[in-house]
Structure 1
Amino acid sequence: MRDLLRFLRLALVALLLPLAAAAGEVTLSRADLAEIAPGLWSAPGLPLPDEDRTLPIVGDQNTEDGTRLLRHLAGRGGINGFAGLLYDNRDRGHSTLRPDLFPRLARLVYAADLVEAGRDYGLAGQIHLPAVVLGNSSTALTAGPAPRSLVRLAMTRPMGPQLAAELYQRNAIYIYPEHRDHDAEDLFPANWPYTITSQGSSGSDRRFLIAIAMTLAAFPADTMSALRDHGLVAPAIQMILRRNLSTVGSRDDYLSGRAHPAAFEPGQIRIGRMVAQAAGMRADEIPPMVRLRVIDEGFRQEAGLAGLDERLFDTPSAIARIWRDFDWQREMIVSAEETADPNGRPLRFDWRLLAGDPKRVRIEPLDPEGRRARIVIDWHDPWTLPAPGGGDEYDSRRHARVDIGVFAHNSAQDSAPGFVTVAFPAHQRRSYGPVEPDGAPRLLSIDYDAAGRGVGFDPVLFWTAPWSDEARHDLDGTQLGWIRRWADGRERFVAFDDLRPADGPRYRVDRRNARQPELHFHD
């Protein structure tokens, strides 16, 4: 028994040695926080430990591609290493970056008062930390009326996009799994560069944590300083990740949809190439962050039967719209003129269709440098493409979103993309066609009855109604109204003016059934 106890003690010591050799921990408590807005805090005085360069930059347990290169760079000197970096795990150790993989990397620990308040868990954004932050939460909303990944939560809740954009500009990189939002169907209403979404569920984020930690450590010290000072760490990481996927072999590939899915396959990361690109980036060549602004558009504040806003969000590097109204074609003029190179280099811009039908999307730059562009989009029915790495459950993926990427080039580097996206209501059945020969397509019919057809939809953004509408036109093609047919067989004519009457809305969304909100029509 005595020998057994001695063996167990030695085994426990051996297990704890890697943890004992790890970098320091930074404890964050409520006393460290200063409220800067309702529900938003900063920790301006939070002390960060100095990087202990007597420890190895990568542990022996780290066998990923690129570790030898990173050790060589650290031995040669001049790289940033993990100085000024902080790891933030927000799933209470469920899927964590092990300390023995990166012994020098400081780790954030939440004090009991923040844990009790739930400030340590789930989606980041409410606490701004005075550091370059690498974080993750391998969690999702799996219960309730509207289950979704944390990324889709951020895209669809009030101020979620704005908080994500703010973290992006504050040198914070967070990774979340797509967890059923990007399997047989892409359920994201937008695409953006603010977070990294891993294909899969719990644990699918771990390889991204390793890849990004190694990439951050590989930047030359002066390059990291310039990136940090200009708020460009996260955009640079996004560019490097996308440029070095296994599906991306050239600049043309980088400027295509190959490099910019809504969720990334862990097996497509080429960590060694990411480390090498970061190590070779000079401070006077760092790429800018694309800044976008809508100058003019056909998307409306009140659209469709329910009179809902088609503008999902406007943020500096991502603009998202939802096609709710009846038009066949929509137009936008978007500017990237507010994009500035941190070193004052002249910029040129590429506007590229990343997802959607090239025959139904036209992008016209409006000046020689491409600082502004006119975007014309026709209605898209849902489409299906092969799903790489789908596994046994699905080998294809259904899509219903147009993605346009905007890239700034400063003669040395391409930027991370800015996005203009348009999501279509894939749960509706629409039919368009010319009312007269050679005429522009018009909406001929629309089936709103998703519930009757057993078709799912996002209840936060959309609704169902137990009827379909068939358009009626006069001899010159002017729309008069709709023949409305209910699921129970009733039928009636609804005049076109009744859709948006001057005396107030005749439709409202009933959300008493949170899983399946319905549109109600009032005579």
Structure 2
Amino acid sequence: MRTLPCLALVALLFPLAAGAAEVTLSRADLAEIAPGLWSAPGLVLPDEDRTLPIVGDQNTEDGTRLLRHLAGRGGINGFAGLLYDNRDRGHAPLRPDLFPRLTRLVYAPDLVEAGLDYGLAGQIHLPAVVLGNSSTAVTAGPAPRSLVRLAMTRPMGPHLAAELYQRNAVYIYPEHRDHDAADLFPANWPYTITSQGSSGSDRRFLIAVAMTLAAFPADTMAALRDRGLVAPTVQMILRRNLAPVATREDYLSGRTHPAAFEPGQIRIGRMVAQAAALPADEIPPMVRLRVIDESFRQAAGLAGLDERLFDTTSAIARIWRDFDWQREMIVSADETADPNGRPLRFEWRLLAGDPGRVRIEPLDPAGRRARIVIDWHAPWTLPAPGGGEEYDSRRHARVDIGVFAHNGAQDSAPGFVSIAFPAHERRSYGPAGPEDTPRLVSIDYDAAGRGADFDPILHWTAPWSDEARHDDDGRLLGWTRRWADGRERFVPFADLRPAGGARYRIDRTNPRQPLLRFDE
């Protein structure tokens, strides 16, 4: 994790606003609901002190005058029932003088000592609408990464993120080098807000979301809270009001749903206005997805690893490990329900990837189910807004498909189907085989030899390249394997599959570069 300034210095720089409320959480307040997972059933938030200004004088962001006007007129939720959770020990907090009415969570020393106050959220479920952040990243060890990529790649991480999303928690984290010259995220999802940049880049998003939450009409906020739809609705409002978005078609396009958002693109005043104008009977639903059928495998590629990275409520992620040119999925959104019983229709949109290599076919008139056919993608490069002198383009190796539910009044936040490709491999596909699809010609696995970076949690390197050999009918017979030391031999196809014998194993002696070994 990043080194933090001392808390005393933070308190000196940003003193607590007069009257700002705090609520302290200690180990005694927690009830264990599963190993390493707790709830805080007895935590009670103080009433919102409406004698204080809803926005402090130091807050000069666009939308503050509108929020003050709305608060003076009455009828909005304000900060009632809202809790701010800073999880970087005051490194980059939402300053208390910006929102004097917002209750702030304080962790007791016993939770600080246990580390439950720091970094990625998810271990403690709080009985409130939560806005939180941790302006930190994993910067040491064999697998440095942002907290969002950490959540995507560690056991139970995606499921905890999805649980928070449905429990009215909005957490914001910086991408910290995971979305600069290359997009390193193995998936896209709506569960967190990821800010483009490093420490401190999340602050403007904190302000924007705090003002949006305060602006909801009281009855709308009550309905959102009771139905677990606060976070999905905030995600929709954030994305709908980005600077490049002017029309509904813009909202349904890829530029509105990147893996990380530029702070300069958020339009806070418009977010406040949309939140204030949202009636309780127009709340959009949360998209729920499930895979009905697919060609992605539980054991694939030389190492026999699972291609299913995660299946969660509103996001599905796959990693292309096997040798096929083409893969297929049938995905359903039929468990999505409108909170007010409105009829729904669904839009399935390609957000990232080659339109010539992805085909999406709705399977019913309302679009509740769709067949997705994806061809192999080699990495591609696109302009990167906001990179400045450091980088002007970004390398991508992931297809994103967005699923949107429309209830006649509002579009939902997207659900995602993501397919990540192993960008560290060099693959070549050649002329069509018997089924009229291109077939694999060769793979260079020697990422370490080429100096190609890869995620050591998800992938590996090997000191060889394989050239495919097929019979006259196009069936794969095996590979001509050429090692970096000059050796060469034919490896039959039966030896490629884990079922054919444990001839492949991953050696993690060097955790930065896991090495696939072949027992000859």
CA contact (8 A) 1:22 1:100 kept: no
How far apart in 1 are the matches of 2:407 and 2:427?
A: 43
How much has 1:237 moved relative to structure 2?
Answer: 0.3
1:511 aligns with 2:503: no
CA contact (8 A) 2:40 2:124 kept: yes
How far apart in 2 are the matches of 1:43 and 1:351?
A: 38
1:412 aligns with 2:409: yes
1:380 aligns with 2:380: no
Bigger Cα displacement from structure 2, 210-219 vs 427-436: 427-436
How much has 1:22 moved relative to structure 2?
Answer: 3.8
1:44 aligns with 2:79: no
> Which residues of structure 1 form unaligned runs of 5+?
1-14
How far apart in 1 are the matches of 2:13 and 2:257?
A: 40
Length-normalised TM-score, structure 1: 0.96
1:65 aligns with 2:62: yes
CA contact (8 A) 1:22 1:102 kept: no
Match of 1:157 among 132, 154, 158: 154
Aligned to 2:72: 75
How far apart in 2 are the matches of 1:39 and 1:449?
A: 39
How far apart in 2 are the matches of 1:276 and 1:509?
A: 54
Q: How does 1:87-98 map to 2 (within 5 A)?
A: 87-98=84-95
Match of 1:318 among 315, 318, 321: 315
Match of 1:389 among 381, 386, 391: 386
CA contact (8 A) 1:81 1:217 kept: yes
Change (3 A) 1:501 1:273: closer
Match of 1:34 among 13, 28, 31: 31
Change (3 A) 1:144 1:502: closer
CA contact (8 A) 2:17 2:96 kept: no
**SS of the residue aligned with 1:19?**
coil
How far apart in 1 are the matches of 2:105 and 2:303?
A: 45
How far apart in 2 are the matches of 1:496 and 1:225?
A: 60
Match of 1:221 among 218, 221, 225: 218
Aligned to 2:252: 255
Aligned to 1:300: 297
Aligned to 1:206: 203
Aligned to 1:427: 424
How much has 1:474 moved relative to structure 2?
Answer: 2.0
In terms of Rg, which structure is larger?
Answer: 1
Q: What count of residue pairs does the alignment treat as equivalent? A: 509
How far apart in 2 are the matches of 1:318 and 1:473?
A: 37
How much has 1:20 moved relative to structure 2?
Answer: 4.5
Aligned to 2:177: 180
**SS of the residue aligned with 2:224?**
helix
Deviations 1:406-440 (A, max 9, x none): 00000011000000000000000000012569932
CA contact (8 A) 1:246 1:269 kept: yes
**SS of the residue aligned with 1:101?**
coil
Change (3 A) 1:34 1:436: closer
How far apart in 2 are the matches of 1:502 and 1:221?
A: 59
1:496 aligns with 2:454: no
Deviations 1:342-392 (A, max 9, x none): 100000000000000000000000000000000000000000000000011
One-letter amino acid of the counterpart of residue 139, structure 1: T
How far apart in 2 are the matches of 1:439 and 1:31?
A: 65
One-letter amino acid of the counterpart of residue 288, structure 2: R
Deviations 1:270-290 (A, max 9, x none): 000000000000000000000
Bigger Cα displacement from structure 2, 433-442 vs 258-267: 433-442
Bigger Cα displacement from structure 2, 348-357 vs 476-485: 476-485
Q: How does 1:105-504 map to 2 (within 5 A)?
A: 105-434=102-431, 439-500=436-497, 502-504=499-501
How much has 1:17 moved relative to structure 2?
Answer: 11
How much has 1:477 moved relative to structure 2?
Answer: 2.0
CA contact (8 A) 1:23 1:105 kept: yes
How far apart in 1 are the matches of 2:46 and 2:20?
A: 8
How much has 1:205 moved relative to structure 2?
Answer: 0.3
Deviations 1:275-318 (A, max 9, x none): 00000000000000000000000000000000000000000000
One-letter amino acid of the counterpart of residue 511, structure 2: A
**SS of the residue aligned with 2:231?**
helix
Identity score, percent: 87
CA contact (8 A) 1:22 1:105 kept: no
How far apart in 2 are the matches of 1:384 and 1:255?
A: 21
Could you list the runs of 4 or more consecutive aligned residues of structure 1 that deviate by over 6 angstroms after TM superposition? 15-18
**SS of the residue aligned with 2:97?**
helix
One-letter amino acid of the counterpart of residue 289, structure 2: L
Length-normalised TM-score, structure 2: 0.97
How far apart in 1 are the matches of 2:244 and 2:28?
A: 47
Alignment RMSD, CA only?
1.2
